[in-house]
Chains A and B, each alone.
Chain A
Amino acid sequence: MPTPLVVSDVAKSFTMHLRDGIKLPVISGVSFSIRAGECTVLGGPSGAGKSSILKMLYGNYAVDEGQIIVTHDDGLIDLATASPRTVLAIRRQTIGYVSQFLRTVPRVSALDVVAEPLVERGEDREIARGKARALLAQLNLPERLWALPPATFSGGEQQRVNIARGFITEHPILLLDEPTASLDARNRDVVIELIAAKKAAGVALLGIFHDHDVREAVADRIIDVTAFAPGKIAA
Chain B
Amino acid sequence: MTDEPLLRVSALSKFYGSRVGCDNVSFDLWPGEVLAVVGESGSGKTTLLNCLSTRLLPSSGTASYRMRDGQFRELYRMSEAERRFLMRTDWGFVHQNPADGLRMTVSAGANVGERLMAVGDRHYGKIRATAVDWLSRVEIDEDRIDDEPRAFSGGMRQRLQIARNLVTGPRLVFMDEPTGGLDVSVQARLLDLLRGLVTDLGLAAIVVTHDLAVARLLSQRMMVMKDGRVVESGLTDRVLDDPRAPYTQLLVSSILQV
Contacts and interface: CB of A to CB of B under 8 A. Distances in A.
Interface of A: 14-18, 55, 59-62, 84-85, 87-88, 105-108
Nearest to A21: B246
A17 B234 CA distance: 19
B55 interface: no
Chain A's interface: helix, strand, loop or mixed, by majority? mixed
B188 A107 contact: yes
A14 B234 CA distance: 17
B242 A62 contact: yes
B227 interface: no
Given A105-B195, A105-B217, A60 B241 contact: yes
Contacts of A88: 220, 235
A65 to B, nearest CB: 14
B241 A61 contact: yes
Chain B's interface: helix, strand, loop or mixed, by majority? helix
B191 A106 contact: yes
A42 to B, nearest CB: 19
Contacts of B137: none
Contacts of A107: 188-189, 192
Contacts of A17: 245-246, 249-250
Nearest to B237: A60
Interface in B150-204: 188-189, 191-192, 195
Contact of A84 (B191, B234, B244): B234
Interface string B221-250: 100000000000011011001101110011
Interface of B: 30, 33, 188-189, 191-192, 195, 217, 220-221, 234-235, 237-238, 241-242, 244-246, 249-250, 253
A55 B237 CA distance: 10
3 nearest interchain CB pairs?
Answer: A17-B246, A61-B242, A107-B192
A85 B30 CA distance: 9
Nearest to B189: A107
A106 B247 CA distance: 29
A84 B246 contact: no
19 contacts: A17-B245, A17-B249, A18-B246, A18-B250, A18-B253, A60-B238, A60-B241, A61-B238, A61-B241, A62-B238, A84-B220, A84-B235, A84-B238, A85-B221, A87-B235, A87-B238, A88-B220, A105-B217, A107-B189
Nearest to A84: B235
A101 to B, nearest CB: 12
A118 to B, nearest CB: 13
